[in-house]
Protein backbone atom coordinates (compact mmCIF):
# COMPACT_ATOMS: atom_id res chain seq x y z
CA UNK A 1 0.00 0.00 0.00
CA UNK A 2 2.64 2.47 -1.13
CA UNK A 3 0.22 5.33 -1.65
CA UNK A 4 -0.36 5.75 2.10
CA UNK A 5 3.20 6.89 2.73
CA UNK A 6 2.94 9.01 -0.44
CA UNK A 7 0.12 11.09 1.06
CA UNK A 8 1.12 14.75 1.14
CA UNK A 9 -0.48 17.99 2.12
CA UNK A 10 -0.28 20.57 -0.67
CA UNK A 11 -2.33 23.63 0.31
CA UNK A 12 -3.65 25.84 -2.47
CA UNK A 13 -1.74 28.79 -1.01
CA UNK A 14 0.66 29.14 1.90
CA UNK A 15 0.00 32.51 3.58
CA UNK A 16 2.66 32.29 6.34
CA UNK A 17 5.29 31.74 3.62
CA UNK A 18 4.69 35.34 2.38
CA UNK A 19 6.45 36.32 5.62
CA UNK A 20 8.59 33.32 6.60
CA UNK A 21 10.30 33.07 3.18
CA UNK A 22 12.31 36.18 4.13
CA UNK A 23 11.56 36.40 7.86
CA UNK A 24 14.95 37.75 8.97
CA UNK A 25 15.21 40.48 6.33
CA UNK A 26 11.58 41.57 6.72
CA UNK A 27 11.83 41.68 10.52
CA UNK A 28 14.94 43.87 10.27
CA UNK A 29 13.13 46.20 7.86
CA UNK A 30 10.12 46.51 10.13
CA UNK A 31 12.30 47.24 13.19
CA UNK A 32 14.30 49.88 11.31
CA UNK A 33 11.25 51.72 10.02
CA UNK A 34 9.40 51.42 13.31
CA UNK A 35 12.29 52.97 15.23
CA UNK A 36 12.49 55.84 12.72
CA UNK A 37 8.72 56.35 12.79
CA UNK A 38 8.76 56.51 8.99
CA UNK A 39 5.21 55.37 8.30
CA UNK A 40 3.56 57.57 5.63
CA UNK A 41 4.97 58.97 2.34
CA UNK A 42 8.60 58.35 3.22
CA UNK A 43 11.82 57.47 1.39
CA UNK A 44 11.06 53.74 1.09
CA UNK A 45 7.86 54.49 -0.83
CA UNK A 46 9.73 56.76 -3.24
CA UNK A 47 12.41 54.11 -3.71
CA UNK A 48 9.85 51.41 -4.38
CA UNK A 49 7.95 53.60 -6.86
CA UNK A 50 11.16 54.32 -8.74
CA UNK A 51 12.22 50.66 -8.79
CA UNK A 52 8.77 49.43 -9.80
CA UNK A 53 8.65 51.92 -12.69
CA UNK A 54 12.12 50.80 -13.80
CA UNK A 55 11.16 47.11 -13.54
CA UNK A 56 8.06 47.56 -15.73
CA UNK A 57 9.61 50.08 -18.17
CA UNK A 58 6.89 52.54 -17.12
CA UNK A 59 7.70 56.23 -16.78
CA UNK A 60 5.83 56.58 -13.47
CA UNK A 61 4.64 54.35 -10.64
CA UNK A 62 2.44 55.44 -7.73
CA UNK A 63 1.95 53.33 -4.61
CA UNK A 64 -1.66 53.17 -3.41
CA UNK A 65 -3.64 51.39 -0.69
CA UNK A 66 -4.77 48.43 -2.84
CA UNK A 67 -5.40 47.29 -6.39
CA UNK A 68 -9.07 48.29 -6.33
CA UNK A 69 -8.32 51.88 -5.31
CA UNK A 70 -5.72 51.91 -8.08
CA UNK A 71 -8.50 51.24 -10.63
CA UNK A 72 -10.87 53.79 -9.10
CA UNK A 73 -8.17 56.47 -9.12
CA UNK A 74 -7.20 55.64 -12.72
CA UNK A 75 -10.80 55.90 -13.94
CA UNK A 76 -11.39 59.12 -12.02
CA UNK A 77 -8.19 60.71 -13.35
CA UNK A 78 -9.18 59.70 -16.89
CA UNK A 79 -12.45 61.58 -16.40
CA UNK A 80 -14.62 58.49 -16.78
CA UNK A 81 -18.06 58.57 -15.15
CA UNK A 82 -21.63 59.66 -15.86
CA UNK A 83 -23.18 57.64 -18.71
CA UNK A 84 -19.84 56.32 -19.90
CA UNK A 85 -19.60 52.62 -20.62
CA UNK A 86 -16.47 50.64 -19.82
CA UNK A 87 -15.97 47.18 -21.38
CA UNK A 88 -14.25 44.42 -19.39
CA UNK A 89 -14.07 40.60 -19.42
CA UNK A 90 -16.53 38.93 -17.05
CA UNK A 91 -13.80 36.44 -16.08
CA UNK A 92 -12.24 38.87 -13.61
CA UNK A 93 -12.44 39.84 -9.96
CA UNK A 94 -15.53 41.80 -8.91
CA UNK A 95 -13.13 44.68 -8.14
CA UNK A 96 -12.71 45.45 -11.86
CA UNK A 97 -16.43 46.01 -12.25
CA UNK A 98 -16.79 47.67 -8.83
CA UNK A 99 -14.20 50.29 -9.78
CA UNK A 100 -16.21 51.10 -12.92
CA UNK A 101 -19.41 51.21 -10.86
CA UNK A 102 -17.96 53.55 -8.23
CA UNK A 103 -16.56 55.87 -10.89
CA UNK A 104 -20.22 56.34 -11.84
CA UNK A 105 -19.81 54.62 -15.21
CA UNK A 106 -21.59 51.52 -16.52
CA UNK A 107 -19.70 48.18 -16.39
CA UNK A 108 -20.18 46.19 -19.63
CA UNK A 109 -19.00 42.57 -19.23
CA UNK A 110 -17.93 40.53 -22.28
CA UNK A 111 -16.67 37.04 -23.09
CA UNK A 112 -13.17 35.71 -22.66
CA UNK A 113 -11.45 33.52 -25.25
CA UNK A 114 -9.80 30.10 -25.16
CA UNK A 115 -6.77 31.41 -23.24
CA UNK A 116 -9.23 32.94 -20.70
CA UNK A 117 -8.18 36.50 -21.67
CA UNK A 118 -10.64 39.15 -22.91
CA UNK A 119 -12.06 38.30 -26.37
CA UNK A 120 -11.22 41.22 -28.67
CA UNK A 121 -14.08 40.41 -31.08
CA UNK A 122 -16.51 40.43 -28.17
CA UNK A 123 -15.17 43.84 -27.13
CA UNK A 124 -15.72 45.14 -30.69
CA UNK A 125 -19.34 43.96 -30.62
CA UNK A 126 -19.97 45.61 -27.23
CA UNK A 127 -18.86 49.10 -28.33
CA UNK A 128 -21.61 51.73 -28.45
CA UNK A 129 -21.68 55.52 -28.77
CA UNK A 130 -21.29 55.66 -24.98
CA UNK A 131 -18.20 53.47 -24.69
CA UNK A 132 -15.25 55.41 -23.29
CA UNK A 133 -12.73 52.78 -22.26
CA UNK A 134 -11.68 49.14 -22.40
CA UNK A 135 -10.44 47.57 -19.17
CA UNK A 136 -8.69 44.29 -19.99
CA UNK A 137 -7.66 42.07 -17.07
CA UNK A 138 -4.12 40.72 -17.39
CA UNK A 139 -5.40 37.48 -15.91
CA UNK A 140 -3.48 34.63 -14.28
CA UNK A 141 -0.14 36.36 -14.90
CA UNK A 142 -0.62 36.73 -18.66
CA UNK A 143 -0.85 39.86 -20.81
CA UNK A 144 -3.55 39.84 -23.48
CA UNK A 145 -3.03 40.76 -27.15
CA UNK A 146 -2.53 44.46 -26.57
CA UNK A 147 -1.91 45.20 -30.28
CA UNK A 148 -5.38 43.99 -31.25
CA UNK A 149 -6.96 45.89 -28.35
CA UNK A 150 -5.04 49.09 -29.13
CA UNK A 151 -6.05 48.93 -32.82
CA UNK A 152 -9.68 48.60 -31.77
CA UNK A 153 -9.36 51.37 -29.18
CA UNK A 154 -7.73 53.74 -31.70
CA UNK A 155 -10.43 53.03 -34.26
CA UNK A 156 -13.15 54.09 -31.80
CA UNK A 157 -11.24 56.71 -29.80
CA UNK A 158 -11.28 54.65 -26.57
CA UNK A 159 -8.90 54.64 -23.62
CA UNK A 160 -7.28 51.45 -22.35
CA UNK A 161 -6.91 50.99 -18.60
CA UNK A 162 -5.25 47.68 -17.76
CA UNK A 163 -6.27 45.75 -14.68
CA UNK A 164 -2.84 44.20 -14.27
CA UNK A 165 -3.50 43.21 -10.63
CA UNK A 166 -2.37 39.66 -11.55
CA UNK A 167 0.09 40.61 -14.26
CA UNK A 168 3.26 42.09 -12.74
CA UNK A 169 6.23 41.06 -14.86
CA UNK A 170 4.20 39.43 -17.63
CA UNK A 171 4.80 40.76 -21.14
CA UNK A 172 3.25 40.96 -24.56
CA UNK A 173 5.81 41.47 -27.35
CA UNK A 174 8.32 42.53 -24.69
CA UNK A 175 6.05 45.17 -23.14
CA UNK A 176 5.16 44.83 -19.48
CA UNK A 177 1.59 44.41 -18.26
CA UNK A 178 0.37 47.66 -16.77
CA UNK A 179 2.75 49.83 -18.79
CA UNK A 180 0.98 49.53 -22.16
CA UNK A 181 -2.40 51.26 -21.82
CA UNK A 182 -2.98 54.84 -20.66
CA UNK A 183 -2.80 53.48 -17.10
CA UNK A 184 -2.22 50.04 -15.58
CA UNK A 185 -2.85 48.88 -12.03
CA UNK A 186 -1.11 46.28 -9.85
CA UNK A 187 -2.24 44.55 -6.64
CA UNK A 188 0.08 43.45 -3.84
CA UNK A 189 -2.57 41.43 -1.97
CA UNK A 190 -0.58 38.73 -0.11
CA UNK A 191 -1.51 35.93 -2.53
CA UNK A 192 -0.44 37.94 -5.58
CA UNK A 193 2.94 37.18 -7.21
CA UNK A 194 4.46 40.17 -5.38
CA UNK A 195 2.65 39.96 -2.05
CA UNK A 196 2.77 42.46 0.81
CA UNK A 197 1.98 41.71 4.46
CA UNK A 198 -1.50 43.15 4.01
CA UNK A 199 -3.12 45.29 1.33
CA UNK A 200 -1.22 47.30 -1.25
CA UNK A 201 -1.40 48.42 -4.86
CA UNK A 202 0.26 50.53 -7.52
CA UNK A 203 -0.59 52.52 -10.63
CA UNK A 204 1.68 52.65 -13.69
CA UNK A 205 1.55 55.24 -16.47
CA UNK A 206 3.70 56.91 -19.11
CA UNK A 207 1.42 59.97 -19.21
CA UNK A 208 2.66 62.93 -17.18
CA UNK A 209 -0.75 64.58 -16.85
CA UNK A 210 -2.34 61.35 -15.60
CA UNK A 211 0.56 60.88 -13.20
CA UNK A 212 0.06 64.33 -11.69
CA UNK A 213 -3.70 63.84 -11.32
CA UNK A 214 -3.38 60.36 -9.77
CA UNK A 215 -0.70 61.51 -7.34
CA UNK A 216 -3.09 64.18 -6.06
CA UNK A 217 -6.02 61.76 -5.93
CA UNK A 218 -4.22 59.26 -3.70
CA UNK A 219 -3.30 61.89 -1.08
CA UNK A 220 -6.25 64.19 -0.28
CA UNK A 221 -5.71 66.29 -3.42
CA UNK A 222 -2.44 67.62 -1.99
CA UNK A 223 0.42 68.73 -4.22
CA UNK A 224 4.15 68.33 -3.47
CA UNK A 225 4.06 71.29 -1.08
CA UNK A 226 1.19 69.69 0.82
CA UNK A 227 -1.32 72.26 -0.41
CA UNK A 228 -4.81 71.03 -1.30
CA UNK A 229 -5.45 71.81 -4.96
CA UNK A 230 -8.55 69.64 -5.54
CA UNK A 231 -10.62 66.75 -4.21
CA UNK A 232 -8.73 63.61 -3.27
CA UNK A 233 -8.86 60.34 -1.37
CA UNK A 234 -6.65 58.79 1.26
CA UNK A 235 -5.17 55.87 -0.65
CA UNK A 236 -1.46 55.85 0.07
CA UNK A 237 0.71 52.74 0.13
CA UNK A 238 2.08 52.40 3.68
CA UNK A 239 5.81 53.07 3.86
CA UNK A 240 6.29 49.78 5.76
CA UNK A 241 4.60 47.82 2.96
CA UNK A 242 6.58 49.76 0.37
CA UNK A 243 9.85 48.78 2.08
CA UNK A 244 8.77 45.13 2.22
CA UNK A 245 7.70 45.21 -1.44
CA UNK A 246 10.90 46.94 -2.53
CA UNK A 247 12.92 44.18 -0.87
CA UNK A 248 10.77 41.49 -2.50
CA UNK A 249 10.97 43.21 -5.88
CA UNK A 250 14.74 42.75 -5.81
CA UNK A 251 14.08 38.97 -5.63
CA UNK A 252 11.12 38.99 -7.99
CA UNK A 253 12.90 37.44 -10.97
CA UNK A 254 13.44 34.31 -8.85
CA UNK A 255 9.73 34.25 -7.98
CA UNK A 256 8.77 34.44 -11.65
CA UNK A 257 11.36 31.88 -12.72
CA UNK A 258 10.17 29.36 -10.12
CA UNK A 259 6.52 29.83 -11.11
CA UNK A 260 7.43 29.19 -14.75
CA UNK A 261 9.35 26.07 -13.70
CA UNK A 262 6.30 24.77 -11.82
CA UNK A 263 4.14 25.46 -14.90
CA UNK A 264 6.61 23.51 -17.04
CA UNK A 265 6.49 20.58 -14.61
CA UNK A 266 2.66 20.54 -14.71
CA UNK A 267 2.83 20.73 -18.51
CA UNK A 268 5.19 17.75 -18.78
CA UNK A 269 3.22 15.70 -16.23
CA UNK A 270 -0.29 16.45 -17.54
CA UNK A 271 -0.11 17.13 -21.27
CA UNK A 272 -0.96 13.51 -22.12
CA UNK A 273 -4.43 13.86 -20.55
CA UNK A 274 -7.03 14.85 -23.16
CA UNK A 275 -9.54 15.40 -20.33
CA UNK A 276 -7.67 18.61 -19.45
CA UNK A 277 -6.97 21.92 -21.16
CA UNK A 278 -3.73 23.40 -19.82
CA UNK A 279 -2.64 27.05 -20.04
CA UNK A 280 -0.01 27.80 -22.71
CA UNK A 281 3.34 26.40 -21.55
CA UNK A 282 6.16 28.84 -20.68
CA UNK A 283 8.13 29.68 -23.80
CA UNK A 284 5.56 28.14 -26.17
CA UNK A 285 4.44 31.47 -27.69
CA UNK A 286 6.97 34.08 -28.82
CA UNK A 287 4.64 37.07 -28.11
CA UNK A 288 3.88 36.07 -24.53
CA UNK A 289 5.91 35.93 -21.33
CA UNK A 290 3.63 34.65 -18.55
CA UNK A 291 4.34 34.83 -14.80
CA UNK A 292 1.70 32.29 -13.67
CA UNK A 293 -0.10 34.18 -10.93
CA UNK A 294 -2.43 31.19 -11.23
CA UNK A 295 -2.29 27.85 -12.99
CA UNK A 296 -5.83 27.71 -14.32
CA UNK A 297 -6.81 24.58 -16.22
CA UNK A 298 -10.07 23.32 -17.67
CA UNK A 299 -11.07 19.81 -16.60
CA UNK A 300 -13.74 17.22 -17.43
CA UNK A 301 -15.70 16.26 -14.26
CA UNK A 302 -14.18 19.31 -12.56
CA UNK A 303 -16.20 19.06 -9.32
CA UNK A 304 -15.39 15.37 -8.84
CA UNK A 305 -11.73 16.04 -9.55
CA UNK A 306 -11.70 18.79 -6.93
CA UNK A 307 -13.20 16.45 -4.31
CA UNK A 308 -10.65 13.73 -5.21
CA UNK A 309 -7.79 16.22 -4.85
CA UNK A 310 -9.11 17.37 -1.47
CA UNK A 311 -9.31 13.76 -0.23
CA UNK A 312 -5.66 13.42 -1.19
CA UNK A 313 -4.58 16.52 0.73
CA UNK A 314 -4.44 18.89 -2.25
CA UNK A 315 -6.05 22.33 -2.25
CA UNK A 316 -7.50 23.74 -5.46
CA UNK A 317 -9.93 26.57 -6.23
CA UNK A 318 -12.39 27.85 -8.80
CA UNK A 319 -11.51 31.49 -9.37
CA UNK A 320 -13.75 34.24 -7.93
CA UNK A 321 -15.66 31.73 -5.79
CA UNK A 322 -17.00 29.98 -8.90
CA UNK A 323 -18.85 32.73 -10.80
CA UNK A 324 -17.98 35.28 -13.46
CA UNK A 325 -18.83 38.87 -12.51
CA UNK A 326 -22.11 38.99 -14.48
CA UNK A 327 -23.53 36.09 -12.45
CA UNK A 328 -22.79 37.58 -9.00
CA UNK A 329 -25.83 38.57 -6.95
CA UNK A 330 -27.34 42.04 -6.88
CA UNK A 331 -24.90 43.77 -9.21
CA UNK A 332 -27.60 44.33 -11.83
CA UNK A 333 -25.75 42.28 -14.45
CA UNK A 334 -27.46 38.89 -14.07
CA UNK A 335 -29.69 39.41 -17.14
CA UNK A 336 -26.58 39.27 -19.34
CA UNK A 337 -25.71 35.98 -21.05
CA UNK A 338 -22.13 35.09 -21.92
CA UNK A 339 -22.38 31.42 -22.97
CA UNK A 340 -18.68 30.76 -23.54
CA UNK A 341 -17.66 32.19 -20.16
CA UNK A 342 -20.52 30.42 -18.37
CA UNK A 343 -19.59 27.05 -19.88
CA UNK A 344 -15.94 27.63 -19.10
CA UNK A 345 -16.86 28.23 -15.45
CA UNK A 346 -18.20 24.67 -15.25
CA UNK A 347 -14.73 23.43 -16.19
CA UNK A 348 -12.08 25.83 -14.83
CA UNK A 349 -9.93 25.00 -11.82
CA UNK A 350 -6.78 26.46 -10.33
CA UNK A 351 -4.09 24.02 -9.18
CA UNK A 352 -1.63 24.95 -6.41
CA UNK A 353 0.89 27.45 -7.85
CA UNK A 354 3.28 29.13 -5.44
CA UNK A 355 6.96 29.13 -4.62
CA UNK A 356 6.57 27.29 -1.32
CA UNK A 357 5.97 24.11 -3.40
CA UNK A 358 8.72 21.59 -4.05
CA UNK A 359 9.08 19.68 -7.32
CA UNK A 360 7.81 16.63 -5.43
CA UNK A 361 4.68 18.55 -4.42
CA UNK A 362 4.01 19.39 -8.07
CA UNK A 363 4.58 15.77 -9.17
CA UNK A 364 2.27 14.59 -6.38
CA UNK A 365 -0.52 16.89 -7.61
CA UNK A 366 -0.02 15.68 -11.21
CA UNK A 367 0.14 12.02 -10.18
CA UNK A 368 -3.08 12.40 -8.22
CA UNK A 369 -4.84 13.99 -11.22
CA UNK A 370 -3.62 11.18 -13.49
CA UNK A 371 -4.85 8.66 -10.97
CA UNK A 372 -8.30 10.33 -11.02
CA UNK A 373 -8.68 10.04 -14.80
CA UNK A 374 -6.77 6.85 -15.57
CA UNK A 375 -7.87 4.47 -12.81
Ligand X SMILES: *Cc1c(COP(=O)(O)O)cnc(C)c1O
Give just the sign of the alpha carbon dihedral 53, 55, 56, 62: negative
Task: For the CB of residue 94, give the shortest distance to ligand X in the complex, in Å.
Answer: 8
State which residue, 49 or 163, has the beta carbon closest to ligand X: 163
Q: Find the binder of ligand X among 112, 146, 165, 263 (CB under 6 A).
A: 165
Shortest Cβ 88–ligand X spacing (Å): 10
Q: Please state the closest distance from residue 65 (CB atom) to ligand X, in A.
A: 8
* DSSP state letter for 139: G
Scan residues 265-324 and list those touching ligand X (CB under 6 A). Answer: none
Report if residue 68 touches ligand X, rule: CB under 6 A: yes
Cα torsion angle, 60, 66, 67, 72, sign: negative
Closest CA to 118 of 145, 100, 98: 145
Q: How many residues bind ligand X (CB under 6 A)?
A: 15
Segment interacting with ligand X (CB under 6 A) among 77-85, 91-99, 225-233, 351-359? 91-99
Contacts of 136 (CB under 8 A, 6+ apart): 88, 89, 117, 118, 144, 146, 149, 160, 162, 163, 181
What is the rounded CA–CA span in Å between residue 26 and residue 246?
11
> Nearer Cβ to ligand X, position 276 or 297?
297
CB of 240 to ligand X, least distance (A): 16
- Considering only residues 93, 252, 295, 364, which one is a binding residue for ligand X as defined by CB under 6 A? 93
Tally of CB atoms within 10 A around 9: 10
Nearest partner of 346 among 314, 306, 310, judged by Cα: 306
SS3 content of the chain, % helix, strand, coil (to 5): 40, 15, 40
Closest CA to 328 of 92, 141, 121: 92
Which region among 65-73, 100-108, 154-162, 214-222 touches ligand X (by CB under 6 A)?
65-73
- β 131-135/85-89 pair status: parallel
CB of 3 to ligand X, least distance (A): 36
Residue 125 Cβ vs ligand X, minimum distance, rounded to whole Å: 22
E strand map for 118-227: 131-135, 159-163, 171-172, 175-176, 183-187, 201-205
Provide, rounded to whole angstroms, the least separation between the CB of residue 129 and ligand X: 28
Residues in 179-218 at the binding interface with ligand X, rule: CB under 6 A: 187, 189, 199, 201
Residue 103 found at the interface with ligand X (CB under 6 A): no
Residue nearer to ligand X on the CB measure, 9 or 234? 234
Does residue 109 contact residue 333 with C-beta atoms inside 8 Å?
Answer: yes
Among 111, 163, 238, 290, binds ligand X (CB under 6 A): 163
66 near ligand X, rule: CB under 6 A: yes
Cβ 137 to ligand X shortest distance, Å: 5
Run of H or E residues at 277 = strand 276-277
Closer by beta carbon to ligand X, 159 or else 270 = 159
Determine, following the binding rule CB under 6 A, whether residue 119 of this chain makes contact with ligand X.
Answer: no
Can you say whether residue 93 is alpha, beta or left, with left for phi > 0 and alpha for psi between -120 and 50 degrees?
Answer: beta
Which residue, 74 or 297, has its beta carbon nearer to ligand X? 74
Contact positions with ligand X (CB under 6 A) in 129-158: 137
DSSP string, 3-64: HHHT---B-S--HHHHHHTTHHHHHHHHHHHHHHT--SS-HHHHHHHHHHHHHHT-SEEEEE
Q: Which is nearer to ligand X, 68 or 366 (CB)?
A: 68
**Identified binder of ligand X from the candidate list 56, 90, 96, 131, rule CB under 6 A:** 96
Residues near ligand X (CB under 6 A): 66-68, 92-93, 95-96, 137, 163, 165-166, 187, 189, 199, 201
Amino acid sequence: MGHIENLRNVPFFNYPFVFTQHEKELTDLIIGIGRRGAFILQQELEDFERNLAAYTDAKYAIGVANGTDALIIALRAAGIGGDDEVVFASHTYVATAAAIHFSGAVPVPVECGHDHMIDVDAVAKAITAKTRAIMPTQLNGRTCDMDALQTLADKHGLLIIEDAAQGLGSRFKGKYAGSIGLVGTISFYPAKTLGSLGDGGAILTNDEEMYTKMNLLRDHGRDIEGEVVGWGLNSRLDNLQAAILDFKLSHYDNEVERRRQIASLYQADLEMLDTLLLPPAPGSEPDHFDVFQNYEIEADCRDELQVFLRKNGIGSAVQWGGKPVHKLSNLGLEHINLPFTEKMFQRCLMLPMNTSMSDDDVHYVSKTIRRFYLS
